[in-house]
Structure 1
Amino acid sequence: MLFRALFALAALSLTGAAHLPGIGEPAISVQTQRSGGPIDPEQAALRFDSADLKFEVLPETEQLKGVATLVFTAKAPLRRLLLDLDRNIAPSTVAIDGSPLPRSAFADPDGRLTITLPAPIAAGGQVTATITYGGTPHVAVRAPWDDGMVWSKTPDGRTWFATTAEGYGCDLFWPCLDFPTGEPGRVTLHITVPKGLKAPSNGKLIGVDTLPDGRITWNWSVRQPNTYGIALNVGPYEEMSGLYKSRFGNQIPMFYWYLPGEEAKAKALFAEFAPTLDFFESEIGPYPWGDEKLGVVETPHKGMEHQTINAYGNDYAKAPEGFDWLFQHEFSHEYFGNQLTAADWDDYWLHEGYATYMQPFYGRWREGEARYATMLDDERNKIANLRPIVSGKARTEEEVYEIDKGGPGQDIYYKGSWMLHTLRNLIGDKAFLDVTRLAVYGRLDPKPGNFQPRYGSTPEYEGFVKQVTGKDYGWFFDVYLRQAALPELIETRDGGTLTLAWKAPGDLPFPMPVEVQVDGRVERLAMTGGKDSIAVAPGAHIVVDPDSRILKRSRAIEAYQAWKAAQARKRQ
């Protein structure tokens, strides 16, 4: 999410659009653009029980109508509801517990919908808000890096539409709590589209209704979706399906919705679903949404981890590793993002670091260490080390993804991946996978039906490492997560002695063990206190960290990155 651009245009009415909105139109407010960060106390007082969302997609005018019935339980006394909803699709009516409110009782000036309740709600009380809204929703500039609606056409000129909302949040097209822990317990979707179009979405299909005028309503139900994971997808899709027999005894429906005329390519991608599932179930644990589906839909944007309906727009690209990285990456988020959701954007390395590491880890599972090393090497060259990965404070999505706002940017992907690679080599495969299971499921013995979606954080993850290993690895996370620069390994050879010393940023302790290959023989130095020595024969050939098990500073990579940047500037 490194690119943001907005262009101002007044919102068009539902009754008659003068022209179709262009890219970046209509403009959204600062409030709508903001996702996450410190949570307003009034919103923190809400437990989001359920949402029933009725959508009508209007391709001819590129507009959206909606009716949202939202059920909340008060965790503290409430006098009003504070929700998030883009002003471009502002509400026309609001009812509380079935009773319409006067227009003066609700307002949505800048994307923060405030509803004054007819009577206070006591702690433990429940309230139902029914919100009718609609308008011209914001069109994405460059989805999925910039969010909003993506209106497109299939090669034969038919409607092809999708939503993305990771960066700006769910309030782009439905009233919600736009922060990571604002997940509703269950969402039911009713998506009405023109005749001849399909609307694959989240969760389990509960019915398709044909209306008297030929329009079609697709009805879906999904449990505890990630706040940005709700997605609308509309097109003249063909459907491919199958059933995966899980090693845990259950059967998982698999679906792929693709554009007409692509059956051969679609079959090749669909053939990757079962092996990918098998990898995750064998290495991590049960697929979290086996009672719903593994769903993928072809979209007019690159991709996104929409829960049980992952967006795919990689154009069936081929790669030397023999699998589609984008499908595999977005599928990883079913575990790291949808099942395990970071409680705050500050901890989003839990999503992206793990999902990025799963590509080389899958390559290793399929083909062995050479493939693993090759894929990791490609990731290593992309680590920037400009900002610490975590700040220890609540942050918005933009404050994490954008370098100019102080965020680590792509390092939550590549540096996070390499940190996990280093951790696995440090504590061993069994401990690493046990830590991963605790993070994903909250338990070491996950089975279908004995776990629920959960929120995680960096301190909790560190606690899991300590729980599994019996050791405190705070020094490891202090350097890799809370410092921008990488530790540097200083080598000194004096006669028959090789001395290695870690120089960590901020002079922090860093007792990372190091392997040394001396004339083909590998020895492990404990590096207690961050320094150690080994006797070597004069003229011995030495390779430090011969299998690249440790993420550390590389002056060669820094020079390479600087050279590439200079070449790019010359081409501008």
Structure 2
Amino acid sequence: MKPKSIFLLFSLLFSFSLSAQKFSHADSLRGSLRPARTSYDVLHYDLKVKVDPEKTYITGSNSIQFVVKEKTKQIQVDLFQNLSIDQIVFENKALTYRRDGNAIFIDFPRTLLVKQKHQILISYQGQPRKAVRPPWDGGFSWTKDPAGKPWVTVSCEGLGASAWWPCKDHPGDEPESMDIRIEAPKGLLAVSNGNLVASTSTAFGTEYHWKVQYPINTYNVSINIADYAHWSEKMVQLNGKPLDLDYYVLQSNAEIAKKHFQQSQEMLRIFEKYFGPYPFPKDGYALVETDYWGMEHQSAVAYGNHYKNNNYGFDFIIVHESAHEWFGNSISCSDHADLWIHEALGTYAEAIYLEEKSGKEQAQSYLNGQKNNIKNRFSIIGPYGVNYQSPDADMYFKGTWMFHTLRSIVADDKLWFSTIKDFCLTFYHKNTNAEEVLNFFEKKLKRNVKAIMSLYLHRADIPTLVYQLKESNGAFTLRYKWKNVPNEIDLPIEIKHSQGLGERIHPTDTWQQIKLTEAPQWDFEHFLFQVEKQI
């Protein structure tokens, strides 16, 4: 069976296994690409939001500039139904629209033609959803800082950006740039993505105008309002160009944060070495303190790990969420089913960082700890075309071990790391999917890794090796075969010896045997598989 056929087979089997699962009409509207969405491509958002912490209320508008891809008289925009729409304006006239749950179907007075550029303005208001357990069950967090001042943050990955602002809430369409204007009460600073280009006094307080100069995921658009302390520094990148670094923390944490955040520059340089230049140089890099654990908000990374390093001497929230600047923010999936592209590589980046900083032994110990979190209950890749959210964390940890296994299979670190960097540069500021990613790795590594990756991504279980072992006069006969790996997939593993040398075997779905001078020691540190011994 050819690799492409294997990939399609896994996809079909996965779709069949999910047929019993139920996805709502709202899930379909949110996750699918129907004509009301495919007919246009967003060019720019100009979002304006007034945030009232006392009333837990927002009032705002979003000007959406778009280009027509397929002629249409109707488009879909998304906004949670608990937020009311004041009006939708096109060419100075109010448009008619229909709300279907969290989707808005907007009608135009004439057919919009291909390649035409247009703009609509949506005005809205209401009390946005309150976060339940941010960032996993997100929304607006209305809290207080230690001094009793308002502290407002937003987290909406999975939930969707349309929980608080009107947009085309699908990962496959990012604006080319964005303006974000946040009006905050007097005495508070509003921090968002990109660069602060203006602040204007208002009767309510201050409007802060932020500008993003690159494509951005809608869920990455952020609001952070507090009595923030702020400082800046410059870092010279490996390419010799300066990069602005900004930090925003609660006033009471300024002293500890200035010391703790010093690890940021070392981390960024390591990521530059392995993944290429920082993807958003004109917008700069920022860490913003939040009242939840963390989130990869582009150029304004949310940080809430209380200034704690792990047992390996680094703050994994800083490292993981910053890695998403490359994996998730620069390289973005086109469908929620492929969120593993963000999370598997973002988590794997932690091990790469630690290996560069502290050596292979420490990195392997770290990976071993992550391996304990793998559940093997659901496949990593979810169903396409619905608002799918993974039920567990296997896309993080099993995904990491998939890449760790590939590195071990390739056994050529120069080729492996050049492939990772080439991947970052090739898909720079692009949306992609599993098929494209797997094709890329197969081509660059020049071996059939697509079928291997498909195995880990589409199956809930991991490869299981069945073996029999017989001893006679100090010699061992090992019989082995794969229990759940198709014969067409060449997935090698290694047997360790007491001297530390390895012997690579290539199991199939039929029995093979080899002679050994000692009982086998399976290399579980470099390959993701399990064994079952038969008598």
Give TM-score, length-normalised by structure 1. 0.84
Deviations 1:395-448 (A, max 9, x none): 4232xx22xxxxxx21101100111110111123233323323432217xxxxx
Aligned to 1:536: 516
Aligned to 2:501: 522
Is 1:511 aligned with 2:465? no
Is 1:413 aligned with 2:396? yes
Q: Determine the C-alpha separation between the residues in 2 that align with 1:457 and 1:119.
A: 35
Aligned to 1:549: 526
Q: CA 1:86–1:181 in 2, change beyond 3 Å: closer, same or farther?
A: same
Aligned to 1:461: 437
Q: How many residues align?
A: 504
Aligned partner of 1:412: which letter? M
The DSSP-based 3-state class of the residue aligned with 2:124 is: strand
Q: Determine the C-alpha separation between the residues in 2 that align with 1:345 and 1:384.
A: 20
Aligned partner of 1:453: which letter? H
Aligned partner of 2:409: which letter? L
Q: Determine the C-alpha separation between the residues in 2 that align with 1:36 and 1:439.
A: 29
Is 1:40 aligned with 2:24? no
Deviations 1:488-523 (A, max 9, x none): 233433333442534242645443323323331513
Mapped contact 2:466–2:532 kept (Cα < 8 A) = no
Q: Determine the C-alpha separation between the residues in 2 that align with 1:35 and 1:319.
A: 41
1:282-431 equivalent positions in 2, closer than 5 A: 282-391=273-382, 393-398=384-389, 401-402=390-391, 409-427=392-410, 428-431=412-415
Q: CA 1:203–1:162 in 2, change beyond 3 Å: closer, same or farther?
A: same
Aligned to 1:4: none
Aligned partner of 2:183: which letter? T
Is 1:277 aligned with 2:268? yes
The DSSP-based 3-state class of the residue aligned with 2:31 is: coil
Aligned to 2:65: 71
Mapped contact 2:80–2:164 kept (Cα < 8 A) = yes
Aligned to 1:253: 244
CA RMSD, 1 decimal: 2.1
Give the CA deviation at 1:229.
Answer: 0.5
Deviations 1:374-398 (A, max 9, x none): 1111111111111111256334232
Aligned to 2:94: 101
The DSSP-based 3-state class of the residue aligned with 1:228 is: helix
Give % identity.
Answer: 27
Q: Determine the C-alpha separation between the residues in 1 that align with 2:146 and 2:531.
A: 47
Aligned partner of 1:46: which letter? Y
Point out which structure has higher relative CO (alpha carbons under 8 A, 6+ apart). 2
Q: Determine the C-alpha separation between the residues in 2 that align with 1:500 and 1:185.
A: 57
Unpaired segments of 5 or more residues in structure 1? 1-29, 403-408, 444-451, 557-572
Deviations 1:241-267 (A, max 9, x none): 111100012111111100012123201
Q: CA 1:352–1:521 in 2, change beyond 3 Å: closer, same or farther?
A: closer
Q: Determine the C-alpha separation between the residues in 2 that align with 1:123 and 1:373.
A: 53
Aligned to 1:9: none
Q: Determine the C-alpha separation between the residues in 1 that align with 2:223 and 2:229.
A: 16
Q: CA 1:143–1:112 in 2, change beyond 3 Å: closer, same or farther?
A: same
Q: Determine the C-alpha separation between the residues in 2 that align with 1:477 and 1:508.
A: 15
Q: 2:205 aligned to 208, 212, 215, which one?
A: 215
Mapped contact 1:32–1:168 kept (Cα < 8 A) = no
Q: CA 1:31–1:248 in 2, change beyond 3 Å: closer, same or farther?
A: farther
Mapped contact 1:519–1:541 kept (Cα < 8 A) = no
Mapped contact 1:63–1:134 kept (Cα < 8 A) = yes
Q: CA 1:316–1:484 in 2, change beyond 3 Å: closer, same or farther?
A: same
Aligned to 1:26: none
Structure 1, 524-533 or 468-477: larger mean CA deviation: 524-533
Unpaired segments of 5 or more residues in structure 2? 1-23
Aligned partner of 2:403: which letter? L
Aligned to 1:154: 145
Q: CA 1:524–1:110 in 2, change beyond 3 Å: closer, same or farther?
A: same
Aligned partner of 1:473: which letter? V
Q: Determine the C-alpha separation between the residues in 2 that align with 1:32 and 1:52.
A: 26
Mapped contact 2:464–2:532 kept (Cα < 8 A) = no
The DSSP-based 3-state class of the residue aligned with 2:44 is: strand
The DSSP-based 3-state class of the residue aligned with 1:548 is: coil
